[in-house]
Amino acid sequence: MLLRPRKTNFKNSFKKRSYKSIGKKINLNQKLIYGQFGLKNRNPNFLLFNKYLFKIKIFLKKTVRRSNITNRYLWVKVFPHIPITKKVIGSRMGKGKGKPSNWAAKIPAGSIFIEFRNVRSGRAKHFMKQVIHKLPGSFKVVSRYPNFLPLIAFKKTTSQYDYFF
């Protein structure tokens, strides 16, 4: 399998459900911690399967490592720990839950699970849009900057632009 934990205590486990009536837990991933741009989840109790996460990781690692001059960084802050079980087709009722067929990561609503640093705003927006097209559900691109425009300062001595990120 693509992404899965090396070792687990039990073969199968429950997918823990969260109920709104009990009380809201404070989600620590609602702010950008490491990077300047991020991808925010809008879906309630979203399960991201390992095949989608693997596709995203490969795509973003390729885009980030293209330029060594800018020291681009990437953080994927989720990992699939939840086993998704499936019974064999044609089996009779009973006799257990089934074997784990997939692994998933639970991403709560409003949490940021991908972050970039040292990437220009246009490129970050482009990369994130391509990631959104690969994923099921709705997501939002967030940034530290309020207007999300490239901050450009013109040097009077030379005819080059400086991008402050």
Q: Where are the domains of the chain?
A: 31-80+106-163
Question: What's the pLDDT tens digit per position in 128-144?
Answer: 889 988 888 889 888 88
Distance CA 139, CA 34 (A): 19
Tell me, what's the pLDDT at 161?
45
Among 56-60, 64-68, 99-103, name the one with the lowest average pLDDT: 64-68
What percentage of the chain has pLDDT greater than the value 70?
73
Residue with tokens 């939840």: 82
pLDDT beyond 60 at 50 = yes
Q: Band of the pLDDT at 100, cuts 50, 70, 90?
A: confident
Distance CA 14, CA 94 (A): 17
Phi, psi of 57 (to 5 degrees): -60, -45
Tell me, what's the pLDDT at 16?
66
> Chain-wide mean pLDDT for the chain?
77
Phi, psi of 102 (to 5 degrees): -145, 170
What CATH topology corresponds to 31-80+106-163?
Aldehyde Oxidoreductase; domain 3 (3.90.1170)
Tell me, what's the pLDDT at 23?
46
pTM, 2 dp: 0.72
pLDDT beyond 80 at 84 = yes
Tell me, what's the pLDDT at 24?
56
Of 39 and 23, the one with more pLDDT: 39
- Average pLDDT, stretch 30-55? 87
Beta strands across the sheet bearing 73-76: 73-76, 112-117, 37-41, 139-143
Distance CA 77, CA 112 (A): 8
pLDDT beyond 60 at 15 = yes
Of 107 and 11, the one with more pLDDT: 107
